[in-house]
Amino acid sequence: MSHEITVRPDGKEEFFAAGSTPVWHRIGQRVDRALSSHAALKMAALDWKVDERPIYAEIAGEMSEITTHKSIVRRDTQSVLGVVGRRYKPVQNEEAFEWLDGLVGSRLAAYEAAGSIRQGAVVWALVRLPGQLRIANTNDVVRPFILVANSHDGSIAFRALNTSIRVVCSNTLTIALRSAGPDAISIKHTESIHDRLADAQEVLGLSIAKHREFEVQMNRLAQVRMTKRTFGAYLDRVLGPIPQPTEQGPEPEASAARQQIVANFDHELQRLKGIEHSAWAAFNAVSQYVDWERPTRGAAGSERDERRFATTMFGQGAELKRKAWSTALEMAGGR
């Protein structure tokens, strides 16, 4: 069976979630809380290291080292996680988490979840910030987080992203810190990475400011009412328009995704007093679809949860939600 979240040979999943985390309940270890990066790494079974190993090729009957590239090998399992360029410098799991300890230790943040995907190629942690965001003075509440991600295969740089969870329906809302780079705090794996990680706590101030900006944007979207026509135009931009009918063919039907999102827009979760039929409700209709209803090919049960988690946080699902967010802002005149 193929998984996204890493499963060790002993069957233990490399994932933990604190008791208040409302999503993906079947995955990994459930705990009350993690008070330090060491505890988070232990709970998520991420207390392992990687090594840099040379790569060899047989040339004219002799083994020769390929000096332009090297492999990154997981020390405990001896699995090759990736092949990278010679200037690539790995960041160990403990290093990626350690710089957050000052925030957690001072109770400015708390580890909410952590784990790895693709046999450890990508490692991440979800850190909860204090406070909450309230939309239009309603019971629609969003909790702010920082998502820290690091790869051992060269697929992504060390990154720290803003993300949020909408409590009423457990949707995850990923927000990039555009002012800090294309994907929030983003540091390439080169010689200077460890020096730059020492300064990465700047993400806290940026995150707090960004979440306050996000709160203003959410309230702006909540004030913009959408008719059936404008909601249809919104979906045209997010998903693509419904094909035009032809003389020979039958009347084309909306895609299954579009039909589900339309149903979500009229769902009770999007009809809370103060946000009903708004641009905010339209965005969350898409987010609800991505997080809970988007088909996950060839998966069921915990495997489905694992794959959905990966696409929601790092893959096509996250991209679809970012597109839905930016489109809602543009239609609301807020960008």
Is residue 30 within 8 A of residue 16, CB to CB? The reply is yes
Query: Does the pLDDT at position 297 exceed 60?
Result: yes
What was the pLDDT predicted at 48? 95
**Over 70: is that where the pLDDT of 209 sits?**
yes
pLDDT (0 to 100) of residue 331 = 93
Lowest mean pLDDT among 1-5, 67-71, 229-233, 326-330: 1-5
Q: What is the mean pLDDT of the chain?
A: 81
Q: pTM of the full predicted structure?
A: 0.74
Give 1's pLDDT tier (boundaries 50, 70, 90). Answer: very low
CA dist., res. 94 & res. 166, Å (int): 29
Looking at 129-143, 171-185, 200-214, 250-264, which range is the least confident one?
A: 171-185
Report the largest interatomic distance among the alpha carbons of the chain, rounded to a whole angstrom. Answer: 75
What does the DSSP assignment read for 283-317? HHHHHHIIIIIS--TT--HHHHHHHHHHHHHHSHH
Phi, psi for residue 162 in degrees, rounded to 5: -80, 140
Percentage of residues in the chain having pLDDT higher than 90: 33
Highest-scoring range by mean pLDDT, 142-151, 274-283, 316-325:
274-283
| Residue 229 in this model has a pLDDT that exceeds 90 | yes
* DSSP at 321: H
Cα gap 27→60, rounded to integer Å: 49
Is the pLDDT assigned to residue 279 strictly greater than 60? yes
**Residues 138-159, mean pLDDT to the nearest whole number:** 86
Structural domain boundaries in the chain: 15-54+66-203, 218-245+252-330
Taking the alpha carbons of 268, 315, 124, 28 in that order, is the dihedral positive or negative?
positive
The band of 23, judged by pLDDT with boundaries at 50, 70 and 90, is very low
> What are the pLDDT digits (tens) for 76-125?
999 999 999 999 999 899 888 876 776 666 666 788 888 898 899 999 88
101: which 2 tokens?
A: 């300890």
Alpha carbon of residue 60 to chain centroid: 47
289 has pLDDT over 80? yes
> Does residue 191 register a pLDDT over 70?
no
Residue 296 or residue 182, greater confidence: 296
The C-alpha atoms of residue 285 and residue 267 are separated, in whole angstroms, by: 8
Is 3 or 306 the better-scoring residue by pLDDT?
306
Instruction: Give 250's pLDDT tier (boundaries 50, 70, 90).
Output: low
List the beta strands (DSSP E) in the chain.
15-18, 29-31, 50-59, 62-74, 80-85, 110-117, 122-128, 133-134, 141-151, 158-166, 171-175, 185-187
Which pLDDT does position 105 carry in this prediction? 62
Read off the pLDDT of residues 27-43 as tens digits, 9 standing for 90 and up: 667 777 666 788 888 88
The token pair at 125 is 């942690």
Q: Does the structure show a pLDDT above 60 at 284?
A: yes
Q: Which residue has the higher pLDDT, 167 or 186?
A: 167
Of 154, 174, 155, 150, nearest to 164 (Cα)?
A: 174
> How much is the pLDDT for 125?
86
Q: Are 267 and 285 within 8 A, CB to CB?
A: yes
pLDDT at 16: 85
Residue 199 banded pLDDT, cuts 50, 70, 90: low
